[in-house]
């Protein structure tokens, strides 16, 4: 199974269009040790020929351009794409906006939970993906299903299961209480399995904390891509960027006793890679103390173009 990080950044990417934080300034200037990152997406393929996108980011056009395996193949005719399916993990702008890039009457299958399909289905702009060409399949929760293209067998399965998280920002309802209207299926983790080798990995780009269920699921995993939005829960507040903590945004932070680095220590995960990394996160800078700390704890900081074979 081939896995490629198309974009390791969180919403906004690095640099973000309107941001003058230290990381954005350095990345915009092309300083060594802090490469730019596009927004949150992975691509996966069993055979290296047919690919599935896990989330479709606003940077998808650029990500396809940067990834020859995703280019149309000349021998396949005048219109072609190796992208056969897209699975989305929530309704956030950074995870669904790229669907619009996939117009032009190209067949692929779209997988999402019932909750996220409600969001996509209620926004008529997504009708540009005509249902006759782009079938929309609902992911059950906690049950693996075959992950196929509109026409082809891709040799993979996907299981979506709920993780602690939040409804998309633009759907938050203050009147609905502390959960802001969040329901099961608004944010899911994915386990993708190669049906031939039986190997699997987890993709969890948004997660508020590790509950017992998630801990059990991830224990002894071979590979996990995990929410690396923030280093510190108050990182954006302290830098006067946004008066919201990580938890208010539905994201666990890397550091501290309640952070992901501590939580994973007992899980015996063989390879751990942070993705969905916000531009304020100090681990993005290879020279930072925080980067050294995360790496010493066995974590890799995801970067665009990173490839993993499982
Ligand atoms: C998030 O990950 O919290 C969202 O992408 C935020 C947003 O929609 O800007
Ligand atoms: Mn996001
Ligand atoms: Zn920034």
> pLDDT tens, 236-253?
999 899 899 999 999 999
* Closest ligand 1 atom, residue 93 Cα: 8
Q: Give the mean pLDDT of 59-87.
A: 97
Per-residue confidence band for 131, with pLDDT thresholds at 50, 70 and 90: confident
Of 154, 227, 249, 231, which is closest to residue 193 (Cα–Cα)?
154
* Closest ligand 1 atom, residue 12 Cα: 9
Residue 224: Cβ-neighbour burial (10 angstroms; 0-12, 13-18, 19+): buried
Going through the chain in order, the beta strands assigned E by DSSP cover: 2-7, 41-45, 51-54, 83-87, 109-113, 136-139, 145-148, 153-162, 188-194, 200-204, 223-227, 271-275, 299-301, 307-309
Task: Pick the residue whose CA is nearest to atom 3 on ligand 1.
Answer: 249
* Closest ligand 1 atom, residue 249 Cα: 3
Distance CA(98)–CA(274), nearest Å, equals 21
> Best mutation site among 249, 276, 278 for ligand 1, i.e. most ligand atoms within 8 A of its Cβ?
249
Q: For residue range 143-182, list pLDDT tens digits in order.
A: 999 999 999 999 999 999 999 999 999 999 999 999 999 9
Q: What pTM, to 2 d.p., does this model score?
A: 0.98
Task: Pick the residue whose CA is nearest to atom 9 on ligand 1.
Answer: 11
Distance CA(188)–CA(244), nearest Å, equals 22
> Best mutation site among 14, 93, 276 for ligand 1, i.e. most ligand atoms within 8 A of its Cβ?
93
* Closest ligand 1 atom, residue 168 Cα: 8
Distance CA(161)–CA(84), nearest Å, equals 22
Question: Quick one: what percent of the chain has pLDDT higher than 70?
Answer: 100
pLDDT of residue 192: 99
pLDDT of residue 81: 98
Terminal CA-to-CA distance of the chain, rounded, Å? 5
Residue 204 alpha carbon to ligand 2 centre in Å: 11
Residue 13 alpha carbon to ligand 1 centre in Å: 11
Pairing, β 153-162 against β 188-194 = antiparallel
Give yes or no for residue 299 having a pLDDT over 90.
yes
* Closest ligand 1 atom, residue 206 Cα: 2
Distance CA(7)–CA(90), nearest Å, equals 16
Give yes or no for residue 104 having a pLDDT over 90.
no
Averaged pLDDT score across all residues of the chain:
97
Residue 291 alpha carbon to ligand 3 centre in Å: 17
* Closest ligand 1 atom, residue 276 Cα: 2
Question: Quick one: what percent of the chain has pLDDT higher than 90?
Answer: 98
Distance CA(81)–CA(98), nearest Å, equals 15
Distance CA(148)–CA(296), nearest Å, equals 38
Give yes or no for residue 107 having a pLDDT over 90.
yes
Q: For residue range 22-33, list pLDDT tens digits in order.
A: 999 999 999 999
pLDDT of residue 233: 97
Residue 26 alpha carbon to ligand 3 centre in Å: 9
pLDDT of residue 242: 87
Residue 12 alpha carbon to ligand 3 centre in Å: 8
b or e along 175-214 (b: 16 or more beta carbons within 10 Å of the residue's beta carbon)? eeeeebebeebbbbbbbbbbbeeeebbbbbbbbbbbeeeb
Long-range Cβ contact pairs of 259-262 (< 8 A, separation 24 or more): 260/207, 260/210, 260/226, 260/227, 260/228, 261/293, 261/294, 261/297, 261/299
pLDDT of residue 262: 98
Ligand 1: residues with CB < 6 A are: 10-11, 92-94, 169, 206, 249-250
Give yes or no for residue 110 having a pLDDT over 90.
yes
* Closest ligand 1 atom, residue 229 Cα: 2
Residue 94 alpha carbon to ligand 1 centre in Å: 7
Residue 304 alpha carbon to ligand 3 centre in Å: 17
Q: For residue range 188-245, list pLDDT tens digits in order.
A: 999 999 999 999 999 999 999 999 999 999 999 999 999 999 999 999 999 899 899 9
pLDDT of residue 25: 98
Task: Pick the residue whose CA is nearest to atom 4 on ligand 1.
Answer: 92
Residues 39/301, Cβ–Cβ less than 8 Å:
no
Residue 181 alpha carbon to ligand 3 centre in Å: 29
């Amino acid at each position: 199974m081939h896995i490629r990080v198309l974009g390791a950044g969180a919403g906004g990417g690095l640099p973000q269009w309107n941001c003058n934080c230290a990381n954005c300034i350095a990345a915009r200037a092309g300083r060594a040790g802090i490469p730019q990152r596009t927004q949150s997406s992975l691509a996966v393929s069993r055979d290296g020929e047919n690919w599935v996108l896990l989330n479709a980011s606003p940077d998808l056009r650029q990500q396809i351009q940067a990834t020859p395996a995703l280019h149309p193949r000349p021998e396949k005719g005048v219109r072609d794409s190796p992208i056969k399916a897209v699975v989305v993990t929530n309704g956030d702008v950074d995870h669904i906006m790229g669907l619009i890039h996939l117009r032009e009457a190209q067949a692929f299958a779209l997988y999402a939970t019932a909750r996220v399909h409600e969001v996509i289905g209620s926004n008529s702009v997504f009708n540009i993906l005509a249902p006759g060409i782009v079938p929309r399949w609902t992911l059950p929760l906690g049950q693996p299903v075959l992950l196929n293209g509109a026409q082809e067998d891709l040799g993979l399965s996907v299981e979506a299961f709920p993780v602690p998280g939040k409804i998309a920002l633009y759907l938050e309802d203050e009147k609905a209480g502390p959960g802001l209207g969040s329901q099961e299926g608004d944010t899911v983790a994915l386990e993708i399995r190669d049906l031939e080798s039986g190997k699997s990995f987890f993709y969890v780009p948004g997660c508020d904390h590790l509950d017992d269920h998630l801990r059990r699921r991830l224990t002894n995993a071979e590979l996990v891509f995990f929410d690396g939005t923030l280093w510190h829960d108050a990182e954006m507040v302290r830098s006067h960027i946004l008066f919201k903590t990580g938890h208010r945004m539905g994201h666990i932070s890397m550091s501290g006793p309640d952070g992901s680095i501590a939580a994973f220590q007992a899980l015996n995960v063989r390879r751990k890679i942070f993705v969905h990394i916000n531009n304020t996160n100090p681990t993005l800078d290879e020279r930072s103390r925080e980067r050294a700390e995360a790496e010493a704890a066995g974590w890799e900081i995801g970067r665009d173009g990173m490839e993993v074979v499982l």
